[in-house]
Amino acid sequence: MKDLTSAVEHRQEHRFARSRDPRSAAKILVYHPEPEDYVVGIRRALPDAEVVFGSDPDFLRQHIGDTEIILAPRFPVEALQDAQRLKWIQSTNSGVDFLVPVRERLKNTLVTNARGVHGEVMADYVLGTVTMLHWDFPDLLRQQAAQQWKPKFVDPLSGKTIGIVGLGAIGAEIARRAKSAGMTVLGMRRGSARLGEPVDQYYTREEFDEFLSRSDFVVLVVPATTETYKLVGAKELSAMKRSGYLINISRGSVVDELALIRAIGDGQIAGAALDVFEVEPLPPTNPLWTMPNVIVTSHIAGNPTEYPRRILEIFFENARRYLAGEDLINVVNLARGY
């Protein structure tokens, strides 16, 4: 493998400076609770690189000083003050909100994420929970456990409207799945519409209340930023239909959880499917665990099988580009937070 530090200047706003002997091998730090699959793959594909791995903050502090590349889902950002040669952070997640508060320290560091890995499986999750909420599968399962035989009549999903907040790669895939089910699709995003998106009508942030009032299912697919903090609170929940459902696959900080619990308990909305929470793991005392019209999952909506392999495909493509001085894929704009 060519030395990673021999990359020419990046053509975007970031540049890779040669801060040490160009003949030395790059040091790649894998900071992950389950690093084995990543480490084996990297060592096989990049045999000249020095690869260290661990998941302990002391390990991170010990090695970050001369590390050139970090691959991690997240890490204690305090360690960045000791980073002298860091050029590139490859996140194994899509969200990199933990880096936003320290973005000034990363002006000369490229950050890339796992965009593209999660779209299909998250769309599966959303359409699955839409169906479960629509049919009230939690109650059907309770009936099964009690050996109760009850008739039920349900409107077809093709007569329902889904509102998707955040039409990036994941949101667009959800829109395609919903449209294939015959649903009316509403969308809200920053920026203009994209050609070919299966969205029936777009809304701006200023039109959020109308968007919510029209949606039978509101799906949140936005990054955690200052702009999206508690995007959905008591006011927004009161704008939803009483028969409406909230589905959150973004971040727990996007929803005012206490307001949501109250809205569901008071019958202000019909229920929710939640994969993310303000505190994770969700504490045993949280009422969401036992609310009859709430589906709780443990932040798994974006977990396809063979996850390390999918991440390494992105990492190796970016390593090739890094060496060649080409633009990397999945570059994150930390000023925006995604």
Q: Where are the domains of the chain?
A: 4-116+305-324, 119-296
Question: What is the reported pTM?
Answer: 0.89
119-296: CATH superfamily: NAD(P)-binding Rossmann-like Domain (3.40.50.720)
What confidence score (pLDDT) does residue 191 get? Answer: 77
- Does pLDDT of 18 surpass 60? no
Tens-digit pLDDT profile for residues 260-276: 999 999 999 999 999 99
- Does pLDDT of 323 surpass 80? yes
User: Rounded distance, CA 38 to CA 76, Å?
Assistant: 20
Average of pLDDT values for 33-58?
96
Same fold: 4-116+305-324 with 119-296:
yes
CB proximity list for 199: less than 8 A, separation 6 or greater: 164, 167, 175, 185, 186, 187, 193
68, exposed or middle or buried, with CB in 10 Å at 0-12, 13-18, 19+?
A: buried
Tens-digit pLDDT profile for residues 49-85: 999 999 999 999 999 999 999 999 999 999 999 999 9
> What would you report as the CA-atom Rg of the chain, rounded to the nearest whole angstrom?
22
Active site residues: 251, 280, 299
What is the fold, at CATH topology level, of the domain defined by 4-116+305-324?
Rossmann fold (3.40.50)
Distances in Å between the Cα of 179 and the Cα atoms of 45, 123, 175 are 41, 12, 6
- Does pLDDT of 13 surpass 70? no
For 249, list phi and psi in degrees, rounded to 5: -120, 15
